[in-house]
Structure 1
């Protein structure tokens, strides 16, 4: 896969991904819904050695939730950039797939935390649905 770039809405924060990992999930938990302002958030995953911030690191702010998950966002435009689980070991970064500047060949492979999905949204595809996380 070719190197891909992504950026926040205002363009102050940009990044490069050299290779995507195959796990891409749409998360329906209430925190992702609130953070993205949508029915779910879809995250791509890359090994940390295959992901780098290109610009705007000083605009990246972190929010640590009560459950110790960490979300990063652009302090200028508010764009959601990344997510880290509470038990993050630093080997991977999960980033908001919609912030990529290009089309990709891979597609999400699951819906996670569907036990908390918005009652006004119906999942209409055939992807596996996990009540909680993949584990």
Structure 2
């Protein structure tokens, strides 16, 4: 039997479910994630079987100059997800903090650390990449 994991925005208007998760989950330190999440980094995970349960009318998208798309609730402003340009909406990575219960995911890396906030201390137990994982440049 497949587990279903549910999440929502802060005001509860937008609700979603997923059937599972991709193997990798990261803390992204790029300046766009920091501003979008209002935090030192955004913690994101790819999902399997993303479905919007309610509140689709509240979903808004912002397309950054580099083509990445960020999805948020227009009612409360909650940061919900991110996808690279040329990716389908159902392939978005979801902000881990938006899940309503604990999920079976562990952060396994820090990415885009060359853009990290100077006041942020990175946990050295995890691999840290100056850019994304594919470039294999570690800080």
Q: Which band: TM-score by shorter chain?
A: over 0.9
**1:2 counterpart residue number:** 3
**1:45 counterpart residue number:** 46
Please give the alpha-carbon distance, in whole angstroms, between the structure 2 residues aligned to 1:19 and 1:105.
9
**1:113 counterpart residue number:** 112
Q: CA deviation at 1:91?
A: 6.8
Question: Structure 1: which 5+ runs fail to align?
Answer: none
Question: Structure 2: which 5+ runs fail to align?
Answer: 135-139
Q: What SS class does the counterpart of residue 20 from structure 1 fall into?
A: strand
Aligned CA distance change for structure 1 residues 10 and 91 (closer, same or farther; 3 Å): closer
Q: CA deviation at 1:87?
A: 4.0
Please give the alpha-carbon distance, in whole angstroms, between the structure 1 residues aligned to 2:47 and 2:103.
13
Please give the alpha-carbon distance, in whole angstroms, between the structure 2 residues aligned to 1:30 and 1:124.
19
| TM-score, L = length of structure 2 | 0.90
Please give the alpha-carbon distance, in whole angstroms, between the structure 2 residues aligned to 1:128 and 1:4.
27
Size of the aligned set, in residue pairs, is 133
RMSD over equivalenced CA pairs, Å = 1.4
| TM-score, L = length of structure 1 | 0.93
Q: CA deviation at 1:90?
A: 5.8
